[in-house]
């Protein structure tokens, strides 16, 4: 499945855009390109790809604005931010806006390809049916293990692949704390360059999405995180 990855590459530098497109196509990917924010968003909306490589410094709309608008319109495509901004603050901004991974320039092409395939694999695994046909009900939330789907008041709860991976881990034993280290290994598998604080970013985004649903994502100092229905023990 990975050899036919449909990729949207958003990069305003024409030389880099051409080089990346040719290189990734030689590696078996189908690569569409955009050079500015508005055209990137239009392309993304018209035909959702398997993954998006998104530069932050773009004309028209910058990368963070494109990402925020795409997420606001329900696009859950895995996104790898590609940028010359390599500070921790910029990484946190990108993750808060809904990015799934971050690679600073200059970078190695093999690493870029590996990260893209890992994103697609993680996204696919998050929605792969589980072997246990069990349903967990927590307040208005229903978790169907067989499909991996989450429903809130019978409507699908829209989450990014990393948010979904965290929810699956938390719902494996509702009301029991899951350690930060355990969550890190499940949400960021095999990503040694990502700091543990990235778990807090995903938890923050997930907590915002659960606001007003009757569910709470609780931080237990020294123990980790747990999810419970409001008013529960």
Q: Which residue has the higher pLDDT, 124 or 2?
A: 124
Best CATH choice for the domain 135-229 from the list 1.10.10.10, 3.60.15.10, 1.20.1300.10, 3.40.50.300:
1.10.10.10
Pick the range with the lowest mean pLDDT from 94-98, 106-110, 129-133: 129-133
What is the spatial distance between Cα 33 and Cα 184, in angstroms, rounded to a whole number? 32
Q: Which residue has the higher pLDDT, 79 or 223?
A: 79
Q: Which residue has the higher pLDDT, 173 or 231?
A: 173
Q: Read off the pLDDT band of 128 (50, 70, 90).
A: very low
The structural domains of the chain, with segments of one domain joined by +, span 2-126, 135-229
pLDDT tens digits, residue range 130-140?
334 478 888 88
CB distance 5 to 113 below 8 Å: no
CB distance 34 to 8 below 8 Å: yes
DSSP label at 90?
H
pLDDT at 22: 92
H/E element, 80: strand 79-83
3-state secondary structure of 112: helix
CB distance 17 to 10 below 8 Å: no
CATH superfamily of 2-126: Response regulator (3.40.50.2300)
What is the spatial distance between Cα 82 and Cα 73, in angstroms, rounded to a whole number? 22
What is the spatial distance between Cα 76 and Cα 70, in angstroms, rounded to a whole number? 8
Partners of 150 in the β-ladder: 143
What is the spatial distance between Cα 103 and Cα 6, in angstroms, rounded to a whole number? 19
Q: Which residue has the higher pLDDT, 175 or 40?
A: 40
Residue 136: C-alpha distances to residues 52, 175, 209 (Å): 33, 12, 19
Residue 233 has pLDDT above 70, yes or no: no
Phi (first) and psi of residue 18, to 5 degrees: -65, -45
Q: Which residues lie closer than 8 Å to 89 by C-beta, 6 or more apart?
A: none
What is the spatial distance between Cα 192 and Cα 43, in angstroms, rounded to a whole number? 33
What is the spatial distance between Cα 40 and Cα 19, in angstroms, rounded to a whole number? 18
pTM metric for this prediction: 0.54
């Amino acid at each position: 499945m990975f050899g036919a990855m449909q990729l949207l590459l958003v990069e305003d530098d024409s030389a880099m855009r051409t080089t990346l497109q040719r290189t990734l196509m030689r590696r078996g990917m189908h690569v569409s390109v955009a050079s500015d924010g508005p055209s990137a968003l239009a392309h993304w909306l018209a035909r959702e790809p398997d993954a998006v490589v998104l530069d932050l410094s773009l004309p028209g709309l910058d990368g963070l604005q494109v990402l925020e608008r795409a997420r606001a319109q329900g696009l859950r495509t895995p996104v790898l931010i590609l940028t010359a901004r390599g500070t921790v603050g910029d990484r946190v901004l990108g993750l808060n806006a809904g990015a799934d991974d971050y690679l600073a320039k200059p970078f190695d092409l093999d690493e870029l390809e590996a990260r893209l395939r890992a994103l697609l694999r993680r996204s696919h695994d998050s929605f792969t049916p589980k072997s246990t046909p069990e349903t967990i009900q927590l307040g208005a939330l229903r978790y169907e293990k067989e499909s991996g789907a989450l429903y809130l008041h019978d409507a699908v709860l829209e989450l990014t692949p990393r948010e979904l991976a965290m929810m699956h881990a938390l719902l494996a034993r509702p009301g029991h704390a899951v350690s930060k280290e355990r969550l890190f290994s499940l949400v960021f598998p095999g990503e040694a360059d990502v700091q543990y604080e990235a778990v807090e970013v995903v938890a923050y985004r997930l907590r915002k999405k659960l606001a007003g649903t009757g569910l709470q994502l609780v931080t237990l100092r020294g123990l980790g995180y747990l999810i419970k229905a409001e008013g529960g023990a």
